[in-house]
Chain A
Amino acid sequence: MQGAAPVLSVRGLVKRYGGLVVTQDVDLDLRRGEVHAIVGPNGAGKTTLLGQLTGDVRPDAGRIYFGTRDITTLPAHRRARLGLGRSFQITSVFPDLTVIENALLAGQAHAGHSFRFWQHALDDHERLATAMALLAQVGLADHADRLAGPMSHGEHRQLEIAIALAGQPQVLLLDEPMAGMGIEDSATLTRMLLAMKGSVSMLLVEHDMNAVFALADRISVLVYGRCIATGTPDEIRADAEVRRAYLGDDASAP
């Protein structure tokens, strides 16, 4: 285990929608280089928690730290610029741009501002090479000049990851990256994420338990907005409360 300070930490986070408490006093630490999975039944508040980390949802109480910096009130685009990359549960690419343009645009914020009015965006060889290397990493190098819109679901998911990686984030927030994927595609994506392990810290919200147990160093279980357990996959498998709340009483180990 790395003893270093966490890259992302959450303290006493609370979010209510009217009378419904969707995040209830959640504490969470993402250690540098680890893959930390967040699991829980539907409606447990996983997406809302992620939304508060990305800056789309404003928490009612509690604090979020990126390293030592308090980012609780920072808007989404500023967090992204600090090094918080994310992928969306529902594919969110730029359908009217080509694959390479998607990758270039996604890397643009990292390279500084985009108020460059004259030079051709595709003429910057260094950035083009970086973007191509990224596409190769997610397996889309052969499709660089295709329009993103009409591609297949699996390819959209790959591009989704490429966009999230393009800003060279320190932390990757992955909202159900395997959503809607077949067994084969989801195994490919699992291998891809495994290969990235260590170079970037990942917070993974995922329903696919095979992927979770293959990837995660630690798992946090969310039930009704409360984090009921955090631990290694083995500890989580053995945890009585988790089994009762989530896996079902009679679960004979997954």
Chain B
Amino acid sequence: MSLGNDATLYWFILGWLALASLIVHRTVHSRFGLTLRGIRSNETRIASIGLHAYRYKLAAFVLSGTLCAVAGALLANLAQFVSPSYMHWARSAELLLMVLLGGMSSVLGPLVGAAAFMFLEEGLGMVTPHWPLLMGAILVVVVMYARNGIVELVGRLRRSPQDAR
């Protein structure tokens, strides 16, 4: 299998995305995931029920770092190029913006957010070279009116016709 072929590389990366999403989905709903959600919800209470928050947070960071490492390796294959600019904070910020845009508290959110981000970047880029300005405005609106991003917005729109009845 040669990753030099565009189509092969695409399917290869898509396969990894599917696997990573499955892993994250299972993790969120597992006992470990319940512990993490508990820590986020009320960290001081965690010790009093006999759990050591630090160990679970550490494991979560390791898991998240591992997934990012896979993504990094795939990116290097896609771009056939690695430069120090990948370490610039703006790259991390882009990833965070994707999550904010799509929605933080779901597995689907970051996927939707990444797609939306790429779409906006391309689309707005065609309209004006100052597209980050427009992107900024859109982000502010999303953060103000939909704390959980596009996923929540869509969910609300789908529910509202029934609410009206």
Contacts and interface: CB of A to CB of B under 8 A. Distances in A.
Interface of A: 54-55, 75-78, 80-81, 85-86, 88, 92-97, 101, 104-106, 108-110, 114-122, 163, 166-167
Contacts of A163: 45, 49
A30 B56 CA distance: 33
A117 B26 CA distance: 7
Interface of B: 26-27, 29-35, 37-38, 40-42, 44-52, 56, 59
A95 B41 contact: yes
B15 to A, nearest CB: 19
Contact of B48 (A76, A95, A114, A121): A76
Give the residue among B34, B45, B46, B48 with the most A Cβ atoms within 10 A. Answer: B48
A91 to B, nearest CB: 10
Of A81, A106, A110, A167, the most chain B CB neighbours within 10 A belong to A106
B31 A119 contact: yes
A96 B41 contact: yes
Nearest to B49: A106
Nearest to B53: A77
Given A94-B41, A104-B34, A118 B26 contact: yes
Nearest to A169: B50
Nearest to A115: B32
B59 A115 contact: yes
A93 B44 CA distance: 10
A210 B42 CA distance: 32
Contact of A80 (B31, B44, B48, B56): B48
B35 A105 contact: yes
Contacts of B41: 94-97
A109 B27 contact: no
A238 to B, nearest CB: 36
Contacts of A166: 49
B120 to A, nearest CB: 30
Contacts of A115: 32, 59
B43 to A, nearest CB: 10
Contacts of B38: 94, 97, 105
A118 B34 CA distance: 12
A122 B29 contact: yes
Nearest to A112: B31
A191 B146 CA distance: 44
Contact of A109 (B30, B32, B37, B49): B49
A118 B37 CA distance: 15
A167 to B, nearest CB: 6
